[in-house]
Amino acid sequence: MTPVPYRVADRWQETADTVTLTLAPAAHALPPFRPGQFAMLHAFGVGEVALSVSGISGDLLHHTVRAVGKVSEALCRAEPGSEIGARGPYGTAWPSPSAAGDVLVVAGGIGLAPLRPVIDEALARPDRSGRLSVLVGYREPADQLFPADLPRWRRRAQVLVTVDRPEPGWQGSVGLVTALLDTADCRTDRCTAFLCGPEPMMRATAGELLRRGVPAERIAVSLERNMRCGTGWCGHCQLGPLLLCRDGPVVDWARADEPLSVSER
């Protein structure tokens, strides 16, 4: 429960309200993280917040933060050389992308951040023979993340981007990210899907994948609730029978469908 000091090694402004921080251990590194797991990041004097890793490079951690509250705003203002606290790793990880099976990644907005390590892991496999499709939906073109990664991904994967509100000059798709499923390369009989984004988007995407024959056990989603302790003690992140900091955030749709439906009512 005691944060370990990390130093901000680099800071990249992704959008007007979102930055990616590269964190290096100031002394001892935390145990290795796996894609999908999260850390509790502590802004000294302000508080802490749960953030999934958006990249892993040895002892370096990458976290993509959107300024939506006091803690995340403080983290977004952190400059290179400043120190923040970190504890973890917590939670469950994404399943490892299959070499032979197809991989479908569907993200909404900043939901692409926890999925970024999955894409990189799939592309790094020298034995990969399956197809990789990355579908991303944003509110508007200015919200797009990881501009340096997109050309690299497109060299070996299908990457499709859609927006809700196009701007002058936008040449891409307009509409819901679920509409991109019609043009995805993945074959539903051998596909594993990875979803992260707003819950309505994940419910709609999971429902469409189920209708297309993808089993619920092969649809992985990352769920977020108000994580306070990270260890399942406080109960703030409870979703039905799940304590998401312990049983999640990554769960398959077979476990997520019912508690999410109940929470809607």
Mean pLDDT of the chain: 93
Helices then strands, each counted (H, E), the chain: 6, 16
| Within this chain, domains 4-90 and 102-264 share the same CATH topology | no
4-90 CATH choice from 2.40.30.130, 3.40.50.11260, 3.40.50.150, 2.40.30.10: 2.40.30.10
Q: What is the pLDDT of residue 262?
A: 63
Going 125 to 115 to 164 to 199, the CA torsion angle's sign is positive
Mean pLDDT, rounded, for 96-125: 93
Let me know if domain 102-264 sits in CATH 3.40.50.80: yes
Of the candidates 49, 36, 90, the residue with the CA atom closest to the CA atom of residue 232: 90
Domain boundaries, the chain: 4-90, 102-264
Rounded to whole angstroms, how far apart are CA atoms 141 and 160? 13
Contact 217, 252 (CB under 8 A): yes
Is the pLDDT reported for residue 264 higher than 70? no
Residue 128: what pLDDT?
81
Tokens encoding 92 = 């469950």
Q: Model-level pTM?
A: 0.94
Q: How many CA atoms lie within 13 A of 188 on its CB side?
A: 13
CB count, 10 Å around CB of 236?
13
Nearest-Å Rg of the Cα atoms of the chain is 18
Longest dimension (CA), the chain: 51
Give the pLDDT score at 265.
46
Give the burial class of 36: count Cβ atoms within 10 A of its Cβ; 0-12 exposed, 13-18 middle, 19 or more buried: buried
Which of 258, 265, 236, 207 lies closest to 40 in space, CA to CA?
A: 236
- The answer to whether 25 and 4 are in contact (CB under 8 A) is yes
pLDDT tens figures, 181-216:
999 999 888 899 999 999 999 999 999 999 999 999
**Neighbouring residues of 146: CB distance < 8 A, sequence distance ≥ 6:** 14, 20, 112, 116
Give the model's confidence band at 99: pLDDT under 50 very low, under 70 low, under 90 confident, else very high: confident
Tracing tokens 């307009």 back to the chain, one arrives at: 174
Q: How far apart are CA 4 and CA 27, in angstroms?
A: 8
d(CA 146, CA 69): 22
pLDDT (tens digit per residue) in 29-42: 999 999 999 999 99
What pLDDT, in 10s, does the model give residues 129-178? 899 999 999 999 999 999 999 999 999 999 999 999 999 999 889 999 99
